[in-house]
Structure 1
């Protein structure tokens, strides 16, 4: 079987532009809503939202590849690089590296994509790794670059990338294509099509020993940002991680040929879902600010600690709601004090209550704030 890069039409991707038209229009419309939502916030709220979305993206783009990072360390590193107050913690290399790439994407989205850009990103995403030989440069080993699964004695090859000796030529072609398809390039493409193709094109080449998926998603984000003329702040990796199996299935289906309509429709839907998630997160963070404006001075130390933990759980909150047992653990307090604290929070309107007895659960009342 031939892979996409082995076929005579590589890399002349084909797709049905009409099938993407409605998605492209919706992307631009939702981008306008996102930009407007952030534009009317004060600097503190805008920074909080930017850091929260970048933190989520840093964590999830790593989690997609099986790497679990510490949220507080990533966020501390992002705040430090943006010149904001931090908790002065010591940040491990992996967390620092992915945070640096997020900041580079945020600040330099309009810059051309070059070999040096990609080499810098690669050094960031594999920061602290001792098992990679070619760091900050394209792979040059003789062994085939394969994506495999299953037991060692009977592996399943999901994809095999072009040989290492072709990397210079393949990547020169990719970078020329990315420049030519930019909004100000010789043959500009619509935003979703360009971002989706850039992601697929890059991972098909698979130019690095490791980190290709994270860099491919960064390239897609850069393409989206260039389309709208500012950082996109879409939760792309958060949505991909939520449906990780479907993501890998779509990539595997797409690497068999260069007709890419199915892949681009899949990718467009992911981006639109990511925009919806970002809009919901912005609403959540605005509601959080209003919540604290109303209740901050009315919470005791235990209540403040539990409320902060509930907000830390983000949009999804505690699975099934906060229980009295959760409260006792977080606040390190007795059952009697827990009962009194929770009753006060419900009475003041900070929490809502559902269920009875052992099934009683509590949720933040932020929609009504």
Structure 2
């Protein structure tokens, strides 16, 4: 099989810059909208918003790799990292590690990339991992680094990365390219083009024994932040996870060629979708703060618990809407009490109601969110 790194021109990728021009312009325009939206949030609320967005990305970037984390534990760890009050919730090493890495990416976005930064991220990401040989360093094993699926006796090889002995040289070239292609570098590239090449380039080297996908997506975040001049807080992993099959299909296809126009178009479209998700999440968070201000002290303990649970579902809320059965399950109360509580929430204007009888569903009354949908 001919992989991209075995081809004579590697790592000189080719692409049609004109095909990306519209996406690049759109990205810069929407970046201004995101920055403007964040400015509508107070400093204290901005800290909480940052934790909400970073925790979602931490959970989703891990989920893409099949690792399920507890979002509240990640948030607790993020609070500690940012010096904010945190609860005593137990946090597993992998949740603490991904939180530390996300904060590291956020805080050091402007600093040029180097090997030590990558090693530091890997150290944090692999906290508590006892199954790999090298943590905080590039892989050094003799076995081929392959992405495989299927049965053990008939594996399907999706990609084979360069042998470990080549990785230090490959990564030296990568780090040099990353810094040269930055806005202040010798050969600056437009934001989406740079992020797309950087992600595919890194994933094709696959320099670590584990964690390459998560670090590769963090590098895309760092790249975008450098191009817009501040942390992007973009919902990239969230967007990729929603259709990760397409993500892996595109990676597999373009790790066999150096002509990557289609990959860059795919990645650009993904980033633009991620921007829209970020804007909706910021709007949702602003509405959440307004909602709590409007109804402070008006709910009983059961109602508070249910409202908090709905907010945890994010902008989309409960799939299909909140039902009386959901309310009973969350509060462990009787049907009569649930009916009374829900009626009260609708009367107060906290919830909206649709449907009748067993098809009755409830949703948070967030007018500004409905306008953006």
TM range (shorter): over 0.9
CA drift at 1:90: 2.5
SS in structure 1 at match of 2:84: coil
Cα distance in structure 1, aligned partners of 2:334 and 2:31: 48
**Number of the residue aligned with 1:151:** 151
Task: Compare 32-41 and 129-138 and name the one that shifted more.
Answer: 32-41
**Number of the residue aligned with 1:355:** 355
**Number of the residue aligned with 2:6:** 6
1:245-264 residue pairs with structure 2 within 5 A? Answer: 245-264=245-264
**Number of the residue aligned with 1:107:** 107
Cα distance in structure 2, aligned partners of 1:272 and 1:194: 15
Contact 2:322–2:363 (CA<8 Å) still a contact in 1?
Answer: yes
**Number of the residue aligned with 2:168:** 168
Cα distance in structure 1, aligned partners of 2:344 and 2:190: 53
**Number of the residue aligned with 2:142:** 142
**Number of the residue aligned with 1:57:** 57
1:15-164 residue pairs with structure 2 within 5 A? Answer: 15-164=15-164
CA drift at 1:51: 0.8
CA drift at 1:368: 5.8
Contact 2:148–2:155 (CA<8 Å) still a contact in 1?
Answer: yes
Cα distance in structure 2, aligned partners of 1:3 and 1:133: 26
Per the normalisation by structure 2, the TM-score is 0.98
Q: Which runs of 5+ in 2 are unaligned?
A: none
**Number of the residue aligned with 2:316:** 316
1:206 corresponds to 2:177: no
Cα offsets for 1:124-163 (capped at 9, x unmatched): 1111111011100000111100000000011100000000
Cα distance in structure 1, aligned partners of 2:40 and 2:288: 16
CA change 1:263–1:57 in 2 (3 A) is same
CA drift at 1:88: 2.2
SS in structure 2 at match of 1:174: helix
Contact 2:142–2:163 (CA<8 Å) still a contact in 1?
Answer: yes
Cα distance in structure 1, aligned partners of 2:107 and 2:346: 43
Cα distance in structure 2, aligned partners of 1:339 and 1:197: 55
Cα distance in structure 1, aligned partners of 2:68 and 2:341: 34
Across the aligned residues of Structure 1 and Structure 2, the Cα RMSD in angstroms comes to 0.9
Cα distance in structure 2, aligned partners of 1:368 and 1:124: 39
Task: Compare 189-198 and 86-95 and name the one that shifted more.
Answer: 86-95
Moved over 3 A (4+): none
CA drift at 1:113: 0.8
Q: Which runs of 5+ in 1 are unaligned?
A: none
Cα distance in structure 1, aligned partners of 2:49 and 2:249: 32
CA drift at 1:89: 2.0
Per the normalisation by structure 1, the TM-score is 0.99
Contact 2:283–2:368 (CA<8 Å) still a contact in 1?
Answer: no
